[in-house]
Amino acid sequence: MKIAINQIPYDSGHYNKRMGTGPVHLIENGLVENLLATGHEVKLNQLKLEKEFVTEVGAVLEVQHKLSRQIAEDRNSGYFPVTLSGNCNYSAFGNLSGKNRTGVIWFDAHGDFNTPETTPSGFFDGTCLNAIVGNSWKAVVNNMNDFTPVPEENVIFIGARDLDEAEAELIENSKCETVSVDELSGSKLNEQLDLLKNRVDDLYIHIDMDVLDVNEFKANHYAVPNGLTVEQLNEVVKLAKEKIKISGIGFASFDAAYDTDNKAVKIVEEVINQID
């Protein structure tokens, strides 16, 4: 497989800080070399902000413009885009730009479904998915080149278990499909994918690394118990590929300081290999 890795090492506009260290760590610890060794052709795109000072939302806009152009160029050359980013929003908007019938599988321990009115922290990343489906930050989203909001019913949300009260209500009242960790052993996901494939042409898979159980891999300081195993994550990606063409994948929210036993590269590599 021809793979284009997009490295976006920012957290809230800060370079190589906190969760922004994850993309750097993955490359420095051999992700490219490992993929090459297993027969892939790999190119690395390092995307950087041009301004020394940028607001959190301003960083999202600039990255979206850069990433959407880079992905379009690479797709035209036959490359499959893999995005490594500090925050969820950096990878998601750019991967979904220029696509009108793309479904989303969103792996995350958290909802990312707050609005500017409901968020208790003011963290833009915690409103990311709500903006993607067109419910908030509409003026900001309108400034994103070639991005069209994804219909709620075309989103399958997997692994959420740490939600703000208002956010949980927003998700409950939305048309987004949800699958808990416990429900992965049943038929629910399979049925949802069968319905989704009739509405979309392809899939973007977004993996916030804290969807994994902390006993398997602790991704960041937001990580909470009772998450997916690595095996479960790989099984879902493999099943999704069997049902619907995958057009891109993003890995986000990994703080290198927590990878004390060097598991991260292997986890990311295994997921990518499910798509080949």
Q: What is the pLDDT of residue 145?
A: 85
Residue 214 burial class via C-beta count within 10 angstroms: exposed 0-12, middle 13-18, buried 19 and up: middle
User: Considering its fold, how many domains does the chain have in total?
Assistant: 1
State how far the alpha carbon of 123 is from the alpha carbons of 10, 137, 258, in Å: 14, 13, 21
Q: What is the pLDDT of residue 153?
A: 98
State how far the alpha carbon of 243 is from the alpha carbons of 47, 190, 195, in Å: 32, 9, 10
Residue 125 structural domain: 2-275
Token pair of 11 as six digits: 């957290």
- The type of residue at 172 is E
Q: What is the pLDDT of residue 156?
A: 98
Q: CATH number of the domain at 14, please.
A: 3.40.800.10
Residue 245 backbone phi and psi in degrees, to 5: -60, 130
pLDDT digits (tens, 9 = 90+) for 171-186: 999 999 999 999 999 9
pLDDT digits (tens, 9 = 90+) for 52-99: 788 999 999 999 999 999 999 999 999 999 999 999 999 999 999 999
CA torsion angle for 132, 138, 143, 147 (degrees, to 10)? 30
Q: What is the pLDDT of residue 177?
A: 97
Collect all residues with Cβ–Cβ distance below 8 Å to 205 and sequence separation of at least 6: 104, 105, 107, 237, 240, 246, 248, 249, 250
Q: Is 247 in contact with 99 (CB distance < 8 Å)?
A: yes
Q: What is the pLDDT of residue 276?
A: 85
The three-state secondary structure class of 155 is strand
Q: What is the pLDDT of residue 82?
A: 98
Stretches in the chain below the pLDDT threshold 70: none
Q: What is the pLDDT of residue 53?
A: 83
Confirm whether pTM is higher than 0.75. yes
Length of the chain: 276
Q: What is the pLDDT of residue 77?
A: 97
Q: Is 133 in contact with 149 (CB distance < 8 Å)?
A: yes
